[in-house]
Chain A
Amino acid sequence: HSEPGVGGGPGGACRTRRLHVSFREVGWHRWVIAPRGFLANFCQGVCTLPEALQAPGGPPVLNHAVLHALMHAAAPTQGAGPPCCVPARLSPISVLFFDNSDNVVLRHYEDMVVDECGCR
């Protein structure tokens, strides 16, 4: 399940959008014990100026994404296009499930949840 884009479409500044992954949806709810699902989220939005600038409270501004956005603003039809809206901070999840030998297994997966998005 994902939230509809802001303003009805994928517009607005680059930011985290809700995406809930349900193990029942993919038919694995019989052997995944917990969680039932998790908020994976995703990144969407524009990375032109000023959106390419960091959100208030973020790190100092001048980085490659800003230069990239400046070049795109100066020559929108040429060059590499705007920076990309990508995950900037991720966090792990753990999944408890029965394996095919009926053992109870706990597996830990890094970088499964998008906490923050940024222009890169």
Chain B
Amino acid sequence: PAPSGPAAAALLQALGMHEVPRGVPTPRPVPPVMWRLFRRRDPREARAGYPLRPCHVEELGVAGNIVRHIPDSGLFSRPPGPTKTLGLCPKWTVTFNLSGVEPAEHPTRARLELRLEAENEDTHGWELSVALLAKHPGPELLRIPVAPGLLVRADLLGAAVAANASMPRTLRLALALHRGATTVCARLTEASLLLVTLDARLCPPPRLRR
């Protein structure tokens, strides 16, 4: 049985976690990017000769000591929507639960990752607009080119996520597809947020100049 009482609390605190793990998590595949980042930080590989900088995520080139892969919590409840329409394509809302991020953690990278699917037609020139969603959609924050089947990435730091500020408990975004003349719509099949944060309390103090 898991240690309980002060021993477990001390160990959790040492690991920077404040909630006792809740039983068995919902099994889901570990995203390849997380495996890659884990292996990159594996000390045995580090000993093999490319030194690791503390509190830095080499592969993403940013400061950080906590990386989270957060799936859209509304993905599986979204209706597929029409694949073809003369009118506007349906807009999508994606929601990311950030309640696990501590106030002391500051974001250094917030990368939205999406995958669209559509019937094979001319999808040249497609773009996707991203806006923050409160009660109503806010102004368009950024617009990115998209192509069905390909992983679309968009950096939200400084746009939908304020740098050097504590994170909100939930991040909701409104996505809209701008498809030009074609009547084809797309389906949003994957949506996740790759969030890198820095908890400076866990970082070694900077070395004093001698």
Contacts and interface: CB of A to CB of B under 8 A. Distances in A.
Interface of A: 26-28, 30-31, 33-35, 91-96, 98-111, 113
B202 A104 contact: no
A105 to B, nearest CB: 5
B100 A95 contact: no
Interface residues of B, number: 42
A113 to B, nearest CB: 7
B65 interface: yes
Contact of A106 (B37, B71, B100, B202): B37
B23 A106 contact: no
Contacts of A109: 15-16, 202
Given A30-B25, A33-B30, A106 B43 contact: no
A91 B65 contact: no
Contacts of B55: 108, 110
Secondary structure dominating the interface of B = loop
B22 interface: yes
Contacts of A100: 19, 21-22, 25, 100
A104 B25 CA distance: 10
Nearest to A91: B43
17 contacts: A26-B3, A30-B24, A34-B38, A91-B46, A92-B43, A92-B54, A95-B15, A96-B38, A99-B17, A99-B68, A104-B31, A104-B69, A106-B66, A106-B67, A108-B202, A110-B202, A111-B204
A31 B42 CA distance: 19
Contacts of B42: 35, 94
Secondary structure dominating the interface of A = strand
Given A107-B66, A110-B202, A102 B41 contact: no
Contact of A110 (B17, B19, B203): B203
Contacts of B97: 101, 103
B65 A107 contact: yes
The listed residue with most B CB atoms (<10 A of its CB), out of A35, A98, A109, A113, is A98
Nearest 4 A-B pairs (CB), nearest first? A27-B2, A98-B25, A94-B41, A106-B67
A96 to B, nearest CB: 5
Interface string B29-45: 01100110110011100
Nearest to B65: A108
Contacts of B24: 30-31
Given A106-B66, A109-B202, A110-B204, A28 B99 contact: no
